[in-house]
Amino acid sequence: MNKLLKVDDWEQHNEIKRFSIPYKIKSSCPECDNPAILDMSETDSLYYPSFEKETYEAICCESCEHEWKIWFKINFDVVISES
C-alpha cells in the first residue's frame, strides 16, 4: 500500500532549498509581441520554491529589452513505496 504524502504536511517538516526544472516556457513580449522563451533548464535552479502556490520568473525581451514576469505553479507529490 502506498501512502501519499501531502505537500502541506511535507512542507512543515522539510524545506527544499533548490529545485531544477528542465522545461521551456514560451511567451511573447507584451510590448512588441516578439516571441520569447524562458528556458528553465538554463537557470541553475529555483531557490526556496513554493509548491502549489503561484510564483514567477522574470524574462527580458531580446528586441526591445522590456521585462515581464512569467507566472507558474509547481505541483509536487511524493509516493512512499512499502517494498
For residue 9, the enclosing domain spans 3-80
Question: Who contacts 47 (Cβ-Cβ below 8 Å, separation ≥6)?
Answer: 17, 18
DSSP string, 36-55: EEEETTTSS-EESPPBTSEE
> What does DSSP assign to residue 24?
E
pLDDT tens-place string over residues 32-71: 999 998 887 766 567 667 777 888 888 899 999 999 998 8
pLDDT tens-place string over residues 19-38: 777 788 889 999 999 999 88
Domains in the chain: how many in total?
1
| Cell digits of residue 10 | 511535507
Tell me the whole-structure pTM to 2 decimals.
0.59
